[in-house]
Each structure stands twice: as C-alpha cells, then as structure tokens.
Amino acid sequence: MLSHFSLLGFTCEQQDNPCDFILDIVQGDRLTIVGTDKERNQKLTQQKIAESMNDKYLDSLIWKSVKKETDFCVNTPSNISLQEQLPKKSRIFELYYVSQRILRNTIRKPSTFLTQIFIAVMFAILEGFVFFKIDHSIDEGVTNRGGAIFLTVSFQVFVNAIALQLFVEERVLFVHEHSSGYYHVSTYMISKLVCDLIPLRGLPAILLSIIVYVMIDFQLTSHKFFIFLLCVLFSTLCSCALCFCLSASVKEFSVASVICGMLFLIMMIFSGFIVDLDTVMPALSWLQWLVVEQQ
C-alpha cells in the first residue's frame, strides 16, 4: 500500500504511522503531489483527489492482480471451499514470509534472547565451579558426573518452559490466518522451529555445553563432546516440543504450566538419576519410556 501511494507522490516518512498517513490522504489533508501538476493538484477538492486516486489505482498492477483473484473466486462454484478457491502458493513462498515475520518479532525483543544467553552462561559457570575438575574415581567421580549431567539436562528442560507462552499468545492470530488460507500448519511449525526455537534455545544450550564440559573436565575428545552436546540439544528440543504440544492443546496458560510442571517432574523421577529403575515396581516401570531424559 505504501509503495503504491509513493508512486502517486504521497511518501510516508519513516516515523509516521502508516494508518494515520493513509487517513490523512483520503481526508484530503495531504494535497501535495510531486510532479508537473503540483500546483494544480494542491487546489483540487477532496472529491477530485479521491477520483484521481481511484483512476490511478485502476491503472495499477495491484488492481490487475486483485481483479484476477476476485474473478477467479467469483467464477468458482459456491460448493467449493475457500481453501480450494485460493490460488496455489508455493511452500517456499509461505516459509519465506512467515519466517520473516518471526525473525522480525525476535529482533524487536532482544531482551528475551540476551536474557537466555546470560542465564545459560551464569548457570554454566556456577555448575562448573560446583563440579570443577571432579576426580576420576569410581565412587565419588561417577556419582558427581551423573549429578552434573542430570543437573545440566534438568536446567535445559525447565528453562525452556517459556515456550509454553509462544503459541498461547499467537493462537488467535494463527487460527485466523490458517483458516483464511494464508499458510499451512507445517509451514508455521517449520518456521517456528528454524527461526525461533533453534536460535533462541539452541545457542544458549551450545554455550552452556562448552563451558560445563571444559570446567567439569569430562573426556576431552571431540566425538565425546559432540555426543554430550547432542544430548543437551535434543533434551532442549524435546522439552520445547512438549511445551508446544501443551500450549496447542490447552487454551489457558496457567493450566498448561501446571500440566507441564507435572510432566517434567515425572521425567526427573524416572530419568534413572534419582532412583534405580530396576527397583521400581513393574506397574510403574513403563513410565521410564515416556521421559525425555533417558539415562
């Protein structure tokens, strides 16, 4: 819209509200039009300006594109759904625009990303000092290393519970846009995963893994480190996926947070670090296969 009015000589300044800018134009408050007819156009009445803009709109490429789509929908039988009436769009086209919007929303709120980075680094340093250069003995060494791994994974799971709020806030917008045929569900989920979950959750997990692995003095070999890193990343993605599932299933954030906390608690109990799974009664032992953190 702004580019169309810019071609007519109405340029919206950077700090101007586009809605107010359009209202000023249609009300006749902005009569200045650059070009050869500048002086004459300044004297035009509001009615003549409206007629002039209407004629130029009918000659524009925007109108031709809109008319093509409306003619297609009008000539389509009424028993065909809206999704079938809309022109076919490529998935790449959908991914581009949905991802672009998610990235812009992320950039506009840098405090969320910076806070997650800060908390991950501070926790990693704290955990590193607590388990600093733990010994390689069978008794204390194995116990401390198991506790360090359990603490790392538990932190990643609970700190990513904020993913519950993502879909709860965007539910109405998503339902409106999806029902209007703007994009597919898979497009939305892939864009969220690539542009939101991986950058905002993956980078803090990588920094935490590097600091913890070096300070605790785990086995300093590349393949062992990448195994540790993948476990932390997969735990992060699984916890985010569970939060997404709950936020998509429950409309109230408070209800979703309670259910999420209960599921995370069950995961901690049957992770193999708190209790020996061989001693758990058979009626409950099957719960170990539902947890995120497998020993």
Q: Over 60: is that where the pLDDT of 82 sits? A: no
- Asked whether residue 67 falls in the same domain as residue 212, the answer is no
- Asked whether residue 113 falls in the same domain as residue 202, the answer is yes
- Asked whether residue 217 falls in the same domain as residue 285, the answer is yes
Query: What pLDDT score was predicted for residue 109?
Result: 79
Confidence of residue 295 (pLDDT cuts 50, 70, 90): very low
Amino acid at 286: W
Q: Over 60: is that where the pLDDT of 39 sits? A: no
- Asked whether residue 62 falls in the same domain as residue 137, the answer is no
Specify whether the backbone of 79 is left (phi greater than 0), alpha (psi in -120 to 50) or beta: alpha
Specify whether the backbone of 280 is left (phi greater than 0), alpha (psi in -120 to 50) or beta: beta
Amino acid at 95: L
Phi–psi pair at 167, nearest 5 degrees = -80, -30
Q: pLDDT tens digits, residue range 143-178? A: 788 888 888 888 888 887 877 777 777 888 888 888
Highest mean pLDDT among 49-53, 165-169, 253-257, 286-290: 253-257
Query: What pLDDT score was predicted for residue 45?
Result: 65
Range of the domain at 201: 91-290
CA atoms within 13 A on the CB side of 144: 18
Average pLDDT of the chain to the nearest whole number: 79
Query: What pLDDT score was predicted for residue 125?
Result: 92
Domain boundary among 54, 85, 116: 85
Q: Specify if 47 maps to a domain.
A: yes
| CB 166, CB 109: distance < 8 Å | no
Confidence of residue 21 (pLDDT cuts 50, 70, 90): confident
Distance CA 13, CA 15 (A): 6
- Asked whether residue 97 falls in the same domain as residue 225, the answer is yes
The tally of domains found in the chain comes to 2
- Asked whether residue 135 falls in the same domain as residue 67, the answer is no
Radius of gyration of the chain (CA): 28
- Asked whether residue 212 falls in the same domain as residue 122, the answer is yes
Q: What is the DSSP string of the chain?
A: -HHHHHHTT-PPPTTS-HHHHHHHHHTTS-----STTHHHHHT--HHHHHHHHHHHHHTSHHHHHHHHHHHHHHTS-TTS-HHHHSPP--HHHHHHHHHHHHHHHHHH-HHHHHHHHHHHHHHHHHHHHHTTT----TTHHHHHHHHHHHHHHHHHHHHGGGGHHHHHHHHHHHHHHHHTTS--HHHHHHHHIIIIIIIIIIHHHHHHHHHHHHHHT----HHHHHHHHHHHHHHHHHHHHHHHHHHHH-S-HHHHHHHHHHHHHHHHHTTSSSS-GGGS-HHHHGGGGG-S---
- Asked whether residue 250 falls in the same domain as residue 177, the answer is yes
Q: Over 50: is that where the pLDDT of 249 sits? A: yes
User: Quick one: angle between helices 46-58 and 61-74, nearest 10?
Assistant: 70
Query: What pLDDT score was predicted for residue 84?
Result: 58
Q: Which of 175-184, 252-261, 278-287 has the lowest mean pLDDT?
A: 278-287
Here the tokens at position 14 are: 């950077």
